[in-house]
Amino acid sequence: MAVVLLPGTLAAEAGGQKRFELRAATVGEALRQLPVANLLFDEAGELRRLVNVYVDGVDARGGRLLDEPLTGDSEVRIVGAVAGG
């Protein structure tokens, strides 16, 4: 089971749950199972521009992003873009 970790704002929208264990072959498959999926994806089904996804500590935007494969012990961390001081 892959683990998906949510930041605070999204966890509040998921009833306070920060950690999800999901059966998913790819990042996209995992994210779409989340109860906050409509905050991560826009109406065209595209990952919102300022949502960053790290798989085992590596930025998935530098790889295959939603098609990035997951293994049973992958850790997927969602991080909202950070700007400012």
Partner 1 sequence: MAVLLPVGTRKGLFLLRSDDARKDWELEGPLLPGWPVYHAIVDPRDGVLYAATNSFIYGGTVHRSDDLGRNWERAEEIGLPEESGLKLNATWHVEPGKDSELWLGGDPGVLFRSDDGGITWDVNRGLLEHPTREKWQPGAGGMCCHSIQIVDETMYIAISAAGAFRSDDGGDTWTPINKDVAADFHPEKYPEVGQCVHKLLVHPARPDRLWQQNHCGVYRSDDRGDNWERLDGNGLPSDFGFGLALDAGDPDVAYVIPEVSGEQHFTPDDRLGVYRTGDAGASWQLTAKGLPERAWAAVLREGFAYDEGGLYFGTQSGSVWSAPRGGGEWIEAVRNLPPILSVEAAHV
Contact flag: residue 80 with partner 1 (CB under 8 A):
yes
Does the protein bind partner 1 through residue 65 (CB under 8 A)?
A: no
SS (H, E, C) the chain: CEEEECCHHHHHHCCCCCEEEECCCEHHHHHHCCCCHHHHECCCCCECCCEEEEECCEEHHHCCHHHCECCCCCEEEEEECCCCC
84 counts as binding partner 1 under rule CB under 8 A:
no
How far apart CA 38 and CA 1 sit, in angstroms, is 22
Tokens 């494969």, residue located = 69
Q: Judged by CB under 8 A, does residue 50 bind partner 1?
A: yes
Residue nearer to partner 1 on the CB measure, 3 or 11: 11
**67 lies in the site for partner 1, by CB under 8 A:** no
Q: For residues 14 and 22, which CB has a smaller minimum distance to partner 1 in the complex?
A: 14
Cβ closer to partner 1: 15 or 57?
Answer: 15
- Name residues contacting partner 1, limited to 2-41 (CB under 8 A): 8-10, 12-13, 36, 38-40
